[in-house]
Each structure stands twice: as C-alpha cells, then as structure tokens.
Amino acid sequence: MPGVDGHESYSNAPIVLVAVEIRHPTADALTPSESRALKQLLSDHVPIERPGEALAVQLPLNAAVLPTQVAEHFPRYMNREMTLAVSFRKEAVTVEASRYMGWQDFKALVMKVIDARMKIAPIVGIERVGVRYINEIRPPRNAEVDWSRWIHSSLLGPGPIPIDSLPLGQWQGLGIYGSLPGNMLVFRYGPRRGFAVDPGSDLRQAKSSDGSLYFLMDIDSFWTAEGSIPEYDRDKLDSIFDELHEPVYTLFEEMITDELREEVLRSNA
C-alpha cells in the first residue's frame, strides 16, 4: 500500500538492512554523563546499551614500521528486539535497522537521533550523509530459480566466463551514478549464496533464512559537502535525506518485475 510519499511498503520486503550515516568533523568522545543523557532522550526507541567498537589502521610515516590498529570505543544503543541500533562515534552518527518501518517513519527516527545529539553534544558541521539499503531477494521456497521472472534483464547480462576446474559460485555487478562533490549512488548487484549481512552480528536479522541462493541489491546513496563544510542545518539535512532516498526507491522499483511484486513482495507468507 502506498504511503504518504506515494511509495509502496511491501508486506514481504526484501530489505535486510537499512542504514543512515551522518559524518561530521571529529568531535570529542562522549563523556559518561553525555551518554546517559542521550540514552534518556532516546529510551523510547533504543533503551538497551551495548559497547561499540571500531578498528582503524594507522599507517606510520616510516615504511619500516608496521601499521597498527587503533580501537575506537563508543556508545551504541539498541531496541529490545535487537533490530534497531544507534551509534555515536567521534566522526559519525549512525542509525541501522534490520526491521524496516518505511522511509518516513525511519527518517523521523533518524531526525530524533540527530536532535538528541545536537542538544547534548552538538556537532559543528556535516561532511557526508549516506543512505544505504541492502536487499536479499530470495525465491519462494521450493521454487525453481529463474531470475528473469523477478529481476530486470539489464542486471542479468553475461557474467564471468566459466572455468572448467573451478565452478563460478557468484558474481557481482557495479553501477555508479552521479559525481562528487554532491550526490552519488553506488549500486551493487548479482546472484549470491549465504547472507549479505552477517547473521552473527549484534543487530539481529528480522527475517530468518537458510543462507541459500539470493539476488543482491545493495544501494548506497550519499552526499558529500562541496568545498567548505557547512554548519548543521536541520531543514537542509531533512531535505538531503529525501533527495538521497528518492533514487534508491526509483532504482529498486525499476529493477524488479511485476511478477516479483505479486508473487513475493506482496505475499504475507
């Protein structure tokens, strides 16, 4: 059924992860009191705190010295179902969901997260904004796999040549739209086996799967600042989110067939 923005929300949507990242100039690590205040403001949505950690590789100026890994620890809050996560890092705010609530509701939640950050520990500007959707399109159980029934033919072109001694397990196509600075979209696609998102991560997958064959549609739409780093502007950020989401929705709808919509995406199975 179409939402307020005219976009249909499918009952059996193939989304396994949607994520938004707002990257900003490096800020001080949040203090314990700031973390508690953020948790309080967002407790209706993400009341559970989990320690977050990210590893970065530092390359020394002296080539004879081996690179070192530096760990960044940051607050990460989750909902009780472990399907929604909010992270506050020194250089980014990230919101991830494995159970998708529709674009308008998800964007409203992201804006609430940013509002909380600006109230407790304001950021000085916005360098990059990203909106990413990862889809696993899986055939109906026991159905014969014929991607041409469900996926646009332009994504099913010739893959790598076969090798007699090594079977081709999977391949991936890549499309890049736009240019930097400004808006860009990177589209990765192709048939694969297993999982596009690690099922063992702390963000629990809302849909169960046996890790069999699926068709990947990984769409990453992002904006980068041009020239100088603009100050934070709530209305501008809200507008950027919609500008980034629109081509994601359009591309996905163009790349699937009506048969997929009827037999899979609109199914309650």
Match 């014929």 to its residue by tokens: 146
pLDDT, tens digit (0-9, with 9 covering 90-100), for 186-201: 999 999 888 888 888 8
pLDDT at position 269: 58
pLDDT at position 168: 72
Which is nearest to 131 in space by CA: 218, 61, 56, 38? Answer: 218
Average pLDDT along the chain: 88
Measured CA to CA, the distance from residue 87 to residue 117 in angstroms comes to 11
pLDDT, tens digit (0-9, with 9 covering 90-100), for 201-258: 889 987 777 778 899 999 999 999 988 999 999 999 999 999 999 999 999 999 999 9
pLDDT at position 172: 87
Mean pLDDT, range 71-100, rounded to an integer: 93
Measured CA to CA, the distance from residue 51 to residue 74 in angstroms comes to 6
Contact by Cβ (8 Å): 25, 125: yes
Which is nearest to 114 in space by CA: 31, 220, 38, 44? Answer: 38
Mean pLDDT, range 174-197, rounded to an integer: 91
Which is nearest to 137 in space by CA: 80, 185, 207? Answer: 207
pLDDT at position 57: 53
Task: Taking each helix axis as running N to C, give the angle between helix 103-120 and helix 234-254, from 0 to 180 degrees, rounded to the nearest 10.
Answer: 150
Confidence band for 60, pLDDT divided at 50, 70 and 90: low
Q: What is the pTM of this model?
A: 0.88
User: Does 64 or 10 have the greater pLDDT score?
Assistant: 10
pLDDT, tens digit (0-9, with 9 covering 90-100), for 105-158: 999 999 999 999 999 999 999 999 999 999 999 887 777 888 999 999 999 877
Decide the pairing of beta strands 15-23 and 128-137: antiparallel
Q: 34: exposed, middle or buried (C-beta count within 10 Å: 0-12, 13-18, 19+)? A: middle
pLDDT at position 263: 86
